[in-house]
Amino acid sequence: MGLGYIGLPTAAISASIGHKVLGVDINPKVAETINKGEIHIIEPGLGNLVKQVVENGSLRASTLPEISDVYLIVVPTPFKGNYEPDISFVESATNAVLPLLKAGDLYIIESTSPVGTTNKMAELIFGKRPELEGNISIAYCPERVLPGNVLHELIHNDRVIGGIDAQSTQKAQEFYSTFVEGKLHPTNARTAEMCKLTENSSRDVQIAFANELSLICDKANINVWELIDLANKHPRVNILQPGSGVGGHCIAVDPYFITAEFPRESQIIGKAREINNYKSFWCAEKIRTSMLEFELKHGRKPLVALMGLAFKPNIDDLRESPAKYIAQKVMQSAQDGFMVVEPNIEEHSIFRLTKYDEAFEKADIVAFLVAHNEFKNLTYNTNKVILDFAGIFKK
């Protein structure tokens, strides 16, 4: 249920090892595309795999579920306006399969979910189908794949599997062992749910530490990149890299699933979110201040290059991107004088894109928002104002 960034690769891999898979998506265009052997998302190797499993008949897509033995819920869990998690997609996918469930079936949630969701769905199922209580297996098993390396990581990463009871955990382990080569770690549903939130919150907190250091170092006139390199020479210190903020659909979202439910207890987790969001705002302010300083000094408006729009280096994914937020924010303050660069995409509906080397050459102010590899080929130029938020030149 759900043929997105995780659902489709999972469907394709399990089809490729011999399961007969029906991929279900509420969007008819998605089902239509997949049934043609094509894909609607970008992920290396996925297009070929889907083509192969659709052609040999092991994967088929539809907008409606059919009677099956195993049901995987892999739908989005966004948050509402006030950072409260929204599990309505999980609920509606569960309601859609509810009439189809039979004794002996396995129902698994993979969607990132607030603690307690799996048990809540079990209550929903048993409330409407009391005869299934004790006769079906229900488990939570989060994915932890990195966009861009999904096919490899889906097979090779270890996974945590938590059932609502021991038998559910075991049945889910048996299912995943058909295509996962990493270790499968058994636990209960609540711990597995919290484990997914913990992994991404941990990364968010660590990035916030690096971002906080970058703010301190800016004031203290210390090169933060050199500082972190040196501190990391300590055998038990491993500081991550500061940047223009934290983006994507996971790390910038999942911590709110903890803070919404445990606001008093999750002090560091909440503060990390604030710091990482503030870092993007701070970068935008730095660019605006540099533009004003330039104008005062030179008596004309500067030409500004905004380098990178993606949410992290060397990808073409602009979802929840701090770089895109910064570009939009600074461009609100002045009508023209900007060149926007994103070497990983051909064109954009809002931004007119300029080639990275041309923008660097022409600009008076260059703001590096993402550490794309291409930018590392550029040579530092002391005649320009360089705002290196991404650590392109470091030294």
CA 10 to each of CA 15, 153, 184, 375: distance values in angstroms, whole numbers, following the listed order: 8, 11, 16, 34
Q: Which of residues 256, 294, 311, 368 is near ligand SAJ by CB under 6 A?
A: 311
CA 337 to each of CA 84, 100, 222: distance values in angstroms, whole numbers, following the listed order: 39, 59, 30
How far is Cα 3 from Cα 23, in angstroms, rounded to an integer? 6
Q: Which of residues 60, 273, 312, 372 is near ligand SAJ by CB under 6 A?
A: 312
How far is Cα 53 from Cα 13, in angstroms, rounded to an integer? 9
User: Is 147 a residue that touches ligand SAJ (CB under 6 A)?
Assistant: yes
Structure tokens at 367: 């703001």
| Terminal Cα distance for the chain, rounded | 49
Measured from the CB atom, is 171 or 196 closer to ligand SAJ?
Answer: 196
Shortest separation between residue 200's beta carbon and ligand SAJ, angstroms:
5
Candidates 116-124, 145-153, 180-188, 341-349; binding stretch for ligand SAJ (CB under 6 A): 145-153
* Residue linked to tokens 């701090």: 322
Residue among 375, 252, 228 at smallest CA distance from 307: 375
Measured from the CB atom, is 236 or 264 closer to ligand SAJ?
Answer: 236
Shortest separation between residue 232's beta carbon and ligand SAJ, angstroms:
12
Candidates 24-32, 124-132, 139-147, 357-365; binding stretch for ligand SAJ (CB under 6 A): 139-147
Task: For the segment 199-218, give every residue that binds ligand SAJ (CB under 6 A).
Answer: 199-200, 203, 207
Shortest separation between residue 85's beta carbon and ligand SAJ, angstroms:
14
Structure tokens at 78: 């966004």
Q: What mask of x and - would describe binding to ligand SAJ in positions 233 to 262, judged by CB under 6 A?
A: -------xx-x--xxx-xx-----------
Measured from the CB atom, is 12 or 54 closer to ligand SAJ?
Answer: 12
* Under 8 Å between Cβ of 331 and 271: no
Instruction: Give the residue numbers annotated as catalytic, written as ranges.
Output: 196, 250
**Which residues face 70 on adjacent strands?**
106
Candidates 122-130, 196-204, 258-266, 301-309; binding stretch for ligand SAJ (CB under 6 A): 196-204
| Residues in the chain, overall count | 395
Say how many CA atoms lie within 13 Å of 291 toward its Cβ: 22
Measured from the CB atom, is 41 or 334 closer to ligand SAJ?
Answer: 41
Shortest separation between residue 203's beta carbon and ligand SAJ, angstroms:
4
User: Is 271 a residue that touches ligand SAJ (CB under 6 A)?
Assistant: no
Q: Which of residues 17, 146, 220, 222 is near ligand SAJ by CB under 6 A?
A: 146
Sequence-distant (6+) residues with CB within 8 A of 372 are: 307, 308, 310, 313, 314, 343, 344, 356
Helix 267-298 × helix 322-333 angle, to 10°: 40
How far is Cα 379 from Cα 292, in angstroms, rounded to an integer? 25
Sequence-distant (6+) residues with CB within 8 A of 180 are: 154, 155, 157, 159
Shortest separation between residue 364's beta carbon and ligand SAJ, angstroms:
26
Measured from the CB atom, is 135 or 238 closer to ligand SAJ?
Answer: 238
Residue among 210, 288, 294, 201 at smallest CA distance from 244: 210
Measured from the CB atom, is 7 or 247 closer to ligand SAJ?
Answer: 247
Measured from the CB atom, is 1 or 31 closer to ligand SAJ?
Answer: 1
Shortest separation between residue 225's beta carbon and ligand SAJ, angstroms:
12
CA 293 to each of CA 178, 332, 345: distance values in angstroms, whole numbers, following the listed order: 61, 18, 32
Measured from the CB atom, is 337 or 391 closer to ligand SAJ?
Answer: 391
User: Is 144 a residue that touches ligand SAJ (CB under 6 A)?
Assistant: yes
Shortest separation between residue 309's beta carbon and ligand SAJ, angstroms:
12
Nearest-CB residue to ligand SAJ?
Answer: 250
Asked whether the CA dihedral 271, 277, 279, 281 is positive or negative, the reply is negative
Shortest separation between residue 248's beta carbon and ligand SAJ, angstroms:
3
Q: What mask of x and - would describe binding to ligand SAJ in positions 50 to 69, judged by CB under 6 A?
A: --------------------
How far is Cα 320 from Cα 332, in angstroms, rounded to an integer? 18
Binding site for ligand SAJ (CB under 6 A): 143-147, 199-200, 203, 207, 240-241, 243, 246-248, 250-251, 311-312
